[in-house]
Amino acid sequence: MNDKILYTQCAYCDGETCYPAANLNDPLPSIEKAPTACPMRRYEQVVREGITHYHRSNIQEFARRASIQEAQCYEFDGQNLRTRIPRIEEIMQFAAKCNYTALGLAFCIGLRREAREVSKIFEAGGFDVASVCCKVGRTPKESIGLTGEEKIRGPDAMESMCNPIVQAELLNRQKVDLAVMLGLCVGHDTLFLKYCKVPCTVLAVKDRVLGHNPLAAIYLSATPYYGRLKNPARLSGAKDEWEKIDIMTEDALEKNGN
């Protein structure tokens, strides 16, 4: 029996099947002519079942308002398409469309200056803002098993661990209407999303090298320096050092509470 997953490959498709340049009543391209890796061909039942979630009135209305917000981010004169607003303004407009009044800002301490300005902008927009820094709890990194050599500043430094779980729980407790992530580290953002129980969006992600603009590496991937990203040997052997870990299942707490 072959259990190999049939991975979809939309990244290599021209998108004409699912996003055709057609008028409302024009016949749509045949799905049978789509690439064999198209999810509408390969996982037709999953697509059909996923769409049924929009039949729930609250989900449908949320998606409707999100699509209205999407359209309002552009100007189209029949020929030319222009963008209108930055993402922070888009977040505020959408929050207003949902009648949200309280926003939660989960940010990295390395972006605390940016977080202060974001809070001021949200507050000027009429929102209440609960902001939580990633170092909340000032818990030593040794508590999650790091050795001195694995810390940024070495064995003699007291370094507080990033604490995305507590960030999420604090925003849950304060009952914010929408959580906004700003610059959480890779992995820490994953934990935040797992534990956050309120609607969540992302304002910006962290990229220390590229001024928090990670797509710059993609745009420059054909250049000599960033071309190394497409070198298949770059990560060879690196994954062999680590076991796969599953955070989506819940393990019982240790008896000592750790």
pLDDT tens for each residue of 162-211 = 999 999 999 999 999 999 999 999 999 999 999 999 999 999 999 999 99
- Does an H or E element contain 119, and which? helix 112-124
CB 185 within 8 A of CB 192: no
CA angle 35, 39, 40 (to 5 degrees): 85
Token duo for residue 236: 């060879």
Residue 106 DSSP code: E
The pTM of the full predicted model, rounded to 2 decimals, is: 0.88
Residue 118 near residue 203 (C-beta atoms within 8 A)? yes
* pLDDT tens digits, 12-59: 999 999 999 899 999 999 999 999 999 999 999 999 999 999 999 999
